[in-house]
Structure 1
Amino acid sequence: MRVICWKTTWLSIQTMELFDNLMDSLSGQSYGVIDSFLTSEEINGLVINLRKRHAAGSFKEAGIGQGSGQHIQVLVRGDQILWLEEFSVVEIEQVYYKKINALIQSLNQSCYLGLKDFEFHYALYPIGAFYKRHLDRFKTDSHRKISVVCYLNEDWQATDGGELVIYLPNKPPVKISPVGGRLVCFEADILEHEVLPATHERLSLTGWLKTY
């Protein structure tokens, strides 16, 4: 899949500029970044909710594979995850979903992707944890079109590590620091990527925009 986008005019000027820049990047290089997708208050609210649910034991070790074939492989992936409910009643998660729905509407109107659904999970990478190079699309499931990562790391420094590495065809890899509020989107069936180890816990909301 190659994303081709046209400009949209129905959003607020500030949001439209952010989404237009993202779609220009998706069209040109199959990935894009929006800084300050979340406010500091929204980041803080999501972090509080994440840590509350992690302390309650709701997270589990992330696996490799799909369905009954999924298994834990710590030499490949070391994060802990908690899937968000599709119809969450948590107010701060509703705020996040509202922004994601606006992004989906913009992508559908401007890029004709036919996105109809999404799925997200909280991800917590302990100190030193990583996720080796991989592709997000399953061999038997083509519904994941756009991978989305939104970072929840407050006061993150470049020296903390934990970068997302995106491997571009015939170009050097791109490293993206997991700065709080930053949203990264890329084509799930095209770009391989990995998560590098960090010197602090690394928090995010990770998911996919999907077709049926």
Structure 2
Amino acid sequence: MNPLFEPIIDGILADGYGIMDNFLTPDEIIALARRLHDRRAMGQFRAAGIGNQNVVVENAIRGDEILWLDEATTISAELTFLQRIHEFVDYVNQTCYLGLRDYEFHYAVYPTGTFYKRHLDQFRSDSRRKLSVICYLNTDWQETDGGQLALYLPNLDKTGERQITIAPLGGRLVCFESARLEHEVLPATRERLSVTGWLKTA
């Protein structure tokens, strides 16, 4: 087991979310971002939808473009990322006993000015998504670039909630409980890149 994952687990147990910087190396970030751009240039991306019927909503709720990862067609940089996710799943199962058995990931591109309004990641008709995972592929991201992930955390005294924002720094991994924490993606002044997905039970 990789003890580097322990801060993520500590954060999830304490607040419902955890952060790990340097989940990807600078070279891995560049390789994945290049692969994302190549596949987008080939027309493989599509507008993202909402719900388990994946209904496209004409940018009213979300404006990102996505491409699902398929291990059968991945290159080495993508396989490296997915192998690290395998290690993380093993660690979570051995420390938190969540019974994770599967995952799904996609590239996500938010063009300048686009967003994703506040929502939960778990479908009403499908409770398999347990943990949401976002790994950012942005380089030289500045605070003025925007594009933060906003998480809405319930107060401990149950008298409301508090909002925190997390910058989409390259190599940073954010993990949170899919059924518990509502969240949104704030607009950015430049293109925002990530690999996003969910760790699921059987």
**Band the TM-score falls in, shorter-chain normalisation:** over 0.9
Counterpart-to-counterpart distance in 2, 1:73 and 1:208: 24
For the pair 1:156 / 2:141, whether they are aligned, the reply is: yes
What does 1:20-169 align with in structure 2 at a 5 Å threshold?
Answer: 20-67=6-53, 70-169=55-154
Q: Give the Cα–Cα distance (whole angstroms) in 1 for the partners of residues 142 and 65 of structure 2.
A: 22
Residue-pair matches, total: 197
Measure the CA separation in 2 of the matches of 1:89 and 1:182. 21
- Mapped partners of 2:109, 2:56: distance in 1: 18
Say which of 158, 165, 179 aligns to 1:189. Answer: 179
Q: Deviations over 1:124-165 (max 9, x none)?
A: 000000000000000000010000000000110111000000
Shift in CA distance, 73/66, structure 1 to aligned 2, threshold 3 Å: farther
Equivalent residue for 2:198, pick from 181, 203, 208: 208
Aligned partner letter, 1:47: A
The letter for the 2-side match of 1:210 is K
Deviation per residue, 1:86-138 (Å, 9 max, x gap) = 44431111000110000000000000000011000000000000000000000
1:52 maps to a residue whose letter is D
Contact 2:71 2:79 in 1 (8 A): no
Residues 183-208 of structure 1 deviation map (CA, whole Å, 9 limit, x = unaligned):
00000000000000000000000000
Structure 2 alignment gaps of length 5 or more: 156-160
The root-mean-square deviation of aligned C-alpha atoms, in Å, is 1.0
* 8 Å Cα contact 1:88/1:94 also seen in 2: no
For residue 172 of structure 1, give the secondary structure of its aligned residue in structure 2. strand
User: Structure 1: how far apart are the matches of 2:27 and 2:86?
Assistant: 20
Q: TM-score, normalised by structure 2?
A: 0.95
Question: SS where residue 77 of structure 1 aligns?
Answer: coil
Q: Report the 3-state secondary structure (helix = DSSP H, G, I; strand = E; otherwise coil) of the residue aligned with 1:48.
A: helix
Unaligned runs of 5+ in 1: 1-9
Q: Is the 8 A contact 1:64 1:73 kept in 2?
A: no
Preserved CA contact (<8 Å) 1:61 1:78 = yes
Percent identity reads 54
Rounded to whole Å, the distance in 1 between the matches of 2:98 and 2:106 is 22
